[in-house]
Chain A
Amino acid sequence: MTELIWWVCAALAVGGGLGTILSRNPVSSLLFLILTFFNLAAIYVLLGAHFIAAIQVIVYAGAIMVLFLFVIMLLNLGHAYQPDLRRFGWVVAAFVTAGVGGYLVARAFTGAEEIALAPAGVAIDRAVAEQNAVGAIAFPLFREFLVPFEITSVLLLVAIVGAVLLAKRRV
């Protein structure tokens, strides 16, 4: 059953990705991307990452994509249908490059069948059962990764200041 759900979500995610890069209207492109993000969240749940799935829906599909939509509508780009695809040769080159790259990466991964049987997944499931979905990720985050976590707050501050400074009319 979970395999079936995985395949449906994966197919929808790939379809959303194709729609993102092929649809002419930026708004429909964005909506396809949100479809991809929701399906990725479902796949995260299937892989046992419940907290990350919730963050994916709230932060990515909720906040970042609304920011994109806000900018598209602020710049009044939603009805600009002039084609922005590059010439045909570029499109063919893009798909050939992406296909070869994807094939090489996938082939590199298929040699790693045995890591699927590693005990870490069982350990994660036990941590989720004992400490809930949030605790399982919060304990390592605040114990081993405390310094990166604090540096992240500085990064966000820099991003806020930079965004305000760039988007302001007169510096």
Chain B
Amino acid sequence: MLMNSLILAAILFSLGVAGVVMRRNAIILFMCIELMLNAANLAFIALSRAVGIEGQVFVFFVMTVAAAEAAVGLAIIISVFRLAETVDTKHFNLLRW
């Protein structure tokens, strides 16, 4: 079950990467980032079966960082939406060369 969990974590992380590459909706990009964070958490928990309880403590910290990241990121999305009237990253070209 440990090996299978690690492979599942790899699959979920890959799905998150694929989502970030192929979507343009900024909120869905954030969801894919959350998916990648959860894949990392699953790898931590699976490896805590082999290494020790520290893996679970790390997952606790990762969740805190994810909560902070979601709050700040969604605030950025709201303020960008106020500027551009959209969340499509195609239109976020103010700093693009």
Contacts and interface: CB of A to CB of B under 8 A. Distances in A.
A95 B75 contact: no
A68 B10 contact: no
Contacts of A106: 6-7, 10-11
Interface majority SS (helix, strand, loop, mixed), chain A:
helix
B71 interface: yes
Contacts of A33: 31, 34-35
Contact of A14 (B8, B25, B41, B61): B8
Interface residues of A, number: 84
Contacts of A43: 5, 8, 42
B14 to A, nearest CB: 4
B52 A124 contact: yes
A36 to B, nearest CB: 7
A113 B21 contact: no
Interface of B: 1-8, 10-19, 21-25, 27-28, 30-32, 34-35, 38, 41-42, 45-54, 56-57, 59-61, 63-72, 74-79, 81-82, 87-88
Interface of A: 2-3, 6, 10, 13-14, 17-18, 20-21, 26, 29-30, 33, 36-37, 40, 43-44, 46-49, 51-52, 55-56, 59-60, 63-64, 67-68, 71-72, 74-75, 77, 84-86, 90-91, 93-95, 97-99, 101-102, 105-106, 109-110, 112-113, 115-116, 118, 120-121, 123-124, 127, 136-137, 140-141, 144-145, 148, 152, 155-156, 158-160, 162-164, 166-167, 169
Given A36-B38, A98-B14, A102-B10, 9 more contacts: A20-B19, A48-B49, A51-B56, A72-B27, A85-B23, A86-B23, A101-B17, A152-B64, A159-B71
